[in-house]
A and B are shown apart, each in its own frame.
Chain A
Amino acid sequence: MLILFLLTASVFLSAQEARLDTVLRGGRVYAAVEYLDSHSQEVLSSMWEGLRAEITFQLRLYRRASGIFAFLGDRLISERRVYQIASFDFYENHYKIQMGDRMAGEYSAEAEFLAAFFSLPETELGEVQVGDEGDYYLLARVRMMPVKIVSPLNIITLFSTDTVFTTPWVEAELKP
């Protein structure tokens, strides 16, 4: 019953969009993702309340299956998840973005901060064989929490539909 609820909830949560850009340089695949949302005000208000926001970019590089084993599905070549946590520093009076353990940037202007927070700059995802680029494609999705809920409060994310916004998977071809 719980699983059914969770699956249903995840479908309802998938109303947002994301844009995925891919770049291929010297056999290396780079991807940049942008979250096209309407929740920037919610992020800003949570910053001002002293709360943090979290955005997760999930990237997958696939190679298309062909031949007799095609029914097994496409092969996952690599996967990356990048977390960004945003907060507002009341002492310094600016926004801060943390990526993993390192500080990614400090912004005084809201627009500048939102643009940085909702986008993932070019990130290396893996290598492909030169010449076979057409066999590869990328998928990306974004999971955004205007309020990064601390443990153990985060169990409410299983039930509350307005705490997490998840985009559907966005696909992009790998072009030479």
Chain B
Amino acid sequence: MRIFHSSTTSVGLLVLVLIFILLIALIVVFSHQILINLAGADVRANIMAYVVAIAFPLILLGLIVFQIARLIRERATRKPGSRLKSRLIVFFVLIALLSSIPQALLSVRFVNSTMNFWLEARIGESLRGGLSISLEYYRGAVENLREFNRSSLMAFILEDLNRNPERLWKNVRTVNSQVQFIQVFDEEGSELLFRGETRGRLRSLGQFDERTGDLPKEDREDASILRNAAVYQLQGGRYSVVVGRLMPEGFDSQASSLTESLEVFSQLNRYKRVFRLVLIFFYFFFSFPIFLLSILVSFLLTEEIIRPIVNLEEATRRVADGDFSFRILSRSADELSHLVGSFNRMVSELSHSREKLRQSEKISAWQEIAQRLAHEIKNPLTPIKLSAQRILKKYTAEAGTGPGAAAEGGPSGAGEFQKVLQASISSIVREVDNLNDLLVEFREFARLPMPRLQSVHLRELVEEVAQMYRNLSTDVSIDSSRISEDSIVRADPGQINQVLANLIRNAVQAMPEGGEVSIRSAVVNKENRRFCRIWIKDSGSGIPEEIRGRVFEPYFTSKAEGAGLGLAIVERIVFDHDGNIWFETQEDVGTTFIIDLPLGITEA
């Protein structure tokens, strides 16, 4: 029996899942490499990513080309299912395209909208405005210190330098509240005075531009400090006066963020066209392998989908050609699997019915022959027998009453003839009786009635027949202990009795030297049906190979006695019970007849 396998291979699915995971991982790694780690801007540093990003689609493309070439070859050789496969692949690709085109349009649109939103003109204006304000504030503060430190008012206030430093500081604060500290150095650079915020105190005064007096801004962790220095000639001495202030907390960091934001915005604005095109390019660059993968998946899925259909088509063709040995296996549990199951059942029933019909036709033919033989031979047999008996009777009577009869032929001659006549007549009568018995068997075979089915206990039937043969033969033991008490078959008890009797008798006769007949049963499932299987095994000499094919033929026997109808009747009865019978034999080991009978209904 050739069997087609129709199954969804888990290996194929696993491969698909792995490819998908690999692709996603590559896309994530590559996009990360491109979008985040490109700051180094060395192409060679990203060479691996490029190679993988290009090699992977190329491998996919190669696989697809290979699949297309294979499909073309299949179509050229008219392989079953190739046309359906082509159509399915085209449909799958169309579906992939139909789903990806709107997605691509949406993504491009999304990128455009997002960029337009972020690059809105007013955001740039706001950033620039913020920077201008902060610059104005900063420059205002610098200018204020510069002007104040060079004003005539400051020269007037400084007159209190030696007389009353506290008043000097108070006056500075009164005139310019922005000044938060003042520091005065003498000509040698020694500090003469410091008042105000201590963080602004300088250890020494270095060189500075006397024109503006601006000192470099000091950036500290907690503040940034602005200072301005001026030189005054007071009371015969030359003094350097430093005034300063602390910028508001967070001013530096906020100004820095503002500058950076403006930088990013300016870059986006400057390169937005190129950047948009690059983003769109990378979108297609990443989605292209996914599209290729979906095409490859369509090839694999199509193969999985059409395989059971192709198998069914092939099996149908074989069955139509008369080969009923085809079966299709399916491990999946989908509708196609049900279809495959139905097909298998249909083929099985068709095969069974065909076999039954063939057997019925054969048996009917033999029954017809048997009936004709019985009819043709039966009629002349009775006159033959009666005539022979009458001849013997007449001769005996005449020989006994006529004294001259014996004298004519001589006593010894008459006696001889009578002896021969009596023996011959007895032989004729015996053979006619044998023929009559044979005709009875013919008639039985020809008029075998249809079984009247009922649920019967197999063990009771077997025990009844086995016991009969146990009584008849002491050299042969019959073991029927391995038939369970709850084995119930749907059968005609009389006919099954005949089957068992025939088979057990054959088994006993196959062991003239003695031996053991073993009978056992079990429940089996066959083609979605449950049967009671009965094994009847002998330890005889086995059936010779040359006659194994004719064992069930009517009028065939290897024994000296019998019409050769026993196993033919057995086969007929088993078939009529919707069962099956076959045998296994090995010379000098023994023969086992195996019968499958439908299971009966267990009594509650």
Which residues on A are within 8 Å of B, measured CB to CB?
1-3, 6, 10, 49-52, 90-92, 143, 145, 147, 149-160, 163-164
Q: A10-B43, A92-B216, A160-B274 are in contact. List 4 more A-B contacts (CB 8 A).
A: A49-B266, A50-B259, A150-B267, A156-B278
**Smallest CB separation, A82 vs chain B (Å):** 14
Interface of A, helix, strand, loop or mixed by DSSP:
loop
Enumerate chain A residues within 8 angstroms of B282, measured Cβ to Cβ.
155
A91/B255 contact (C-beta < 8 A), A3-B54, A150-B264, A153-B271 known: yes
Enumerate chain A residues within 8 angstroms of B36, measured Cβ to Cβ.
151-152
B208 at the A/B interface (Cβ < 8 Å)?
A: no
Q: Which of A3, A51, A159 contacts B267 (CB 8 A)?
A: A51
Q: How far is A159 from B279 in the complex, measured between Cα atoms in Å?
A: 11
B310 at the A/B interface (Cβ < 8 Å)?
A: no
Q: How far is A154 from B36 in the complex, measured between Cα atoms in Å?
A: 9
| Cβ-defined contact, A155 with B35, below 8 A | yes
**Smallest CB separation, A173 vs chain B (Å):** 26
**Smallest CB separation, A128 vs chain B (Å):** 26
Type the 1/0 row for B26-37, where 1 means its CB is closer than 8 Å to any CB of A: 000000001110
Q: How far is A155 from B263 in the complex, measured between Cα atoms in Å?
A: 17
Which residues on B are within 8 Å of A, measured CB to CB?
34-36, 38-39, 41, 43, 50-51, 53-54, 131, 135, 138-139, 216-217, 255, 259, 262-264, 266-268, 270-271, 274-275, 277-278, 281-282, 285
25 A-B pairs whose Cβ atoms sit less than 8 Å apart in the complex = A1-B54, A2-B50, A2-B285, A3-B51, A50-B131, A50-B259, A50-B266, A90-B259, A91-B135, A91-B138, A91-B139, A147-B270, A151-B36, A152-B35, A152-B36, A153-B271, A153-B275, A154-B38, A155-B34, A155-B35, A155-B282, A158-B38, A159-B278, A160-B271, A163-B271
**Chain A residue with the shortest CB-CB distance to B279:** A155
Enumerate chain B residues within 8 angstroms of A52, measured Cβ to Cβ.
263
Q: Which of B51, B216, B274 contacts A156 (CB 8 A)?
A: B274
Q: How far is A164 from B278 in the complex, measured between Cα atoms in Å?
A: 16
Q: How far is A130 from B31 in the complex, measured between Cα atoms in Å?
A: 49
Q: Which of A49, A92, A147, A156 contacts B275 (CB 8 A)?
A: A156
Q: Which of A1, A3, A149, A159 has the most CB of B within 10 A?
A: A149
Enumerate chain A residues within 8 angstroms of B50, measured Cβ to Cβ.
2-3, 6
| Cβ-defined contact, B41 with A157, below 8 A | yes
Enumerate chain B residues within 8 angstroms of A3, measured Cβ to Cβ.
50-51, 54
Q: How far is A149 from B277 in the complex, measured between Cα atoms in Å?
A: 16
Enumerate chain A residues within 8 angstroms of B34, measured Cβ to Cβ.
152, 155
Q: Which of A6, A154, A156 contacts B39 (CB 8 A)?
A: A154
Q: How far is A52 from B217 in the complex, measured between Cα atoms in Å?
A: 21
| Cβ-defined contact, B266 with A51, below 8 A | yes
**Chain A residue with the shortest CB-CB distance to B265:** A50
A149/B271 contact (C-beta < 8 A), A50-B263, A91-B138 known: yes
**Chain A residue with the shortest CB-CB distance to B35:** A152
| Cβ-defined contact, B54 with A91, below 8 A | no
**Chain B residue with the shortest CB-CB distance to A163:** B271
Q: How far is A100 from B4 in the complex, measured between Cα atoms in Å?
A: 71
| Cβ-defined contact, A155 with B271, below 8 A | no
Q: How far is A10 from B41 in the complex, measured between Cα atoms in Å?
A: 12
Q: How far is A101 from B267 in the complex, measured between Cα atoms in Å?
A: 23
Enumerate chain B residues within 8 angstroms of A152, measured Cβ to Cβ.
34-36, 38
**Smallest CB separation, A49 vs chain B (Å):** 5
Q: Which of B38, B41, B255 has the most CB of A within 10 A?
A: B41
| Cβ-defined contact, A90 with B131, below 8 A | yes
Q: How far is A145 from B41 in the complex, measured between Cα atoms in Å?
A: 11
